[in-house]
A and B are shown apart, each in its own frame.
Chain A
């Protein structure tokens, strides 16, 4: 089990296209991956479910915790961290 905490910098949070990019990134890995909105304190969602990710209510500036469990968990966390930091297909302000 591996996890990471990241701040979402997309202007509209984890909705629509960024959420889809997040899910498609998670879908590249075999591990079971959960994502939780630490800022809004909602139940965790399956990172491979677009409905789950969109209903987390992740807005710009919210912190999420991504947890991966499986034989490629380290790769999954690294891949998702990279995708989030790269803006999930959108241009975002770099982390301060």
Chain B
């Protein structure tokens, strides 16, 4: 990117969790690893601020994370996936790039996805890396 002048847009990342603090913490951690260029947006907690998920908030997060190269969603469990699907349906195809819900683990997947996105990889490459994070050897048995 340094050699070619204008950098193409980077894939954005949305972190969806039942807990607002958890989503924000994952965004903080992934941002430390990936730097400031990647759009990382948290969508955590329910409408009342407690534990839950909110499709409207997820849709807004997707719009904020989308810079034209698409958005990868990392979600924790169950209804976080369902609410993410609802959010994607709500957005339709209006002016947004592809949006993919990753099957990767929340923390490791978000970190790996953010780093791969930061070097300009495609949405397919970012999704593949996030999902491969589920079998990462952390060295705990070494």
Q: Hey, which bits of chain A sit against chain B, CB under 8 A?
A: 16-17, 20, 23-24, 26-28, 30, 48-51, 54-55, 57, 72
Minimum distance in angstroms from B4 CB to a CB of chain A = 9
Minimum distance in angstroms from A54 CB to a CB of chain B = 7
Q: With A30-B3, A72-B3 as given contacts, are A57 and B129 in contact (CB-CB < 8 Å)?
A: no
A27 touches B34 (CB 8 A): no
Which A residues touch B129, using CB under 8 A? Answer: 49-51
Which A residues touch B32, using CB under 8 A? Answer: 17
Q: Hey, which bits of chain B sit against chain A, CB under 8 A?
A: 1-3, 32-35, 111-112, 115-116, 118-121, 129, 132-133, 136-137, 139, 142
A51 touches B119 (CB 8 A): no
A20 touches B33 (CB 8 A): yes
B33 touches A27 (CB 8 A): no
List 20 additional A-B contacts (Cβ < 8 Å) besides A28-B119, A50-B115, A55-B137: A16-B33, A17-B32, A17-B33, A20-B34, A23-B115, A23-B119, A24-B35, A24-B115, A27-B1, A27-B119, A27-B120, A28-B2, A48-B119, A49-B116, A50-B116, A51-B112, A51-B132, A54-B136, A57-B142, A72-B3
Enumerate 25 A-B pairs (CB-CB under 8 Å) in ascending A order. A17-B32, A20-B34, A23-B115, A23-B119, A24-B34, A24-B35, A24-B119, A26-B119, A27-B118, A27-B119, A27-B120, A27-B121, A28-B1, A28-B2, A30-B3, A48-B119, A48-B121, A49-B129, A50-B116, A51-B112, A51-B129, A55-B137, A57-B139, A57-B142, A72-B3
Which B residues touch A54, using CB under 8 A? Answer: 136
Which B residues touch A48, using CB under 8 A? Answer: 119, 121
Which B residues touch A49, using CB under 8 A? Answer: 116, 129
